[in-house]
Amino acid sequence: MFTIRKASDRGHANHGWLNAYHTFSFADYYDPHHVHFRSLRVMNEDRVAPGQGFGAHPHRDMEIVTYVLEGALEHKDSMGNGDVLRPGEFQHMSAGSGVQHSEFNPSTTEPTHLYQIWLLPSEKNLTPSYSQRRFDVAGRQNQWQLVASPDGASDSLRIHQDAKIHLANLDAGHGLDYRLEPDRHAWLQVLRGSLTVNGHELGTSDGLAVSDEQLLTLTTTSNAEVMLFDLN
Residue 174: which CATH number? 2.60.120.10
Confidence (pLDDT) at 88: 85
Nearest to 31 by CA among 42, 45, 47: 42
Confidence (pLDDT) at 221: 83
**CB-CB neighbours of 181 under 10 Å:** 8
Which DSSP category does 156 fall into?
P
Per the structure, how many domains does the chain have?
1
How far apart CA 85 and CA 93 sit, in angstroms, is: 13
Confidence (pLDDT) at 60: 95
pLDDT 10s per residue in the chain (232 long)? 999 999 999 999 999 999 999 999 999 999 999 999 999 999 999 999 999 999 889 999 999 999 999 999 999 989 998 899 999 899 999 999 999 999 999 999 999 999 999 999 999 999 999 999 999 999 999 999 999 999 999 999 999 999 999 999 999 999 999 999 999 999 999 999 999 999 999 999 999 999 999 999 999 989 999 999 999 9
How far apart CA 147 and CA 229 sit, in angstroms, is: 10
Domain that holds residue 224: 2-231
How far apart CA 76 and CA 192 sit, in angstroms, is: 28
Confidence (pLDDT) at 141: 97
Confidence (pLDDT) at 73: 97
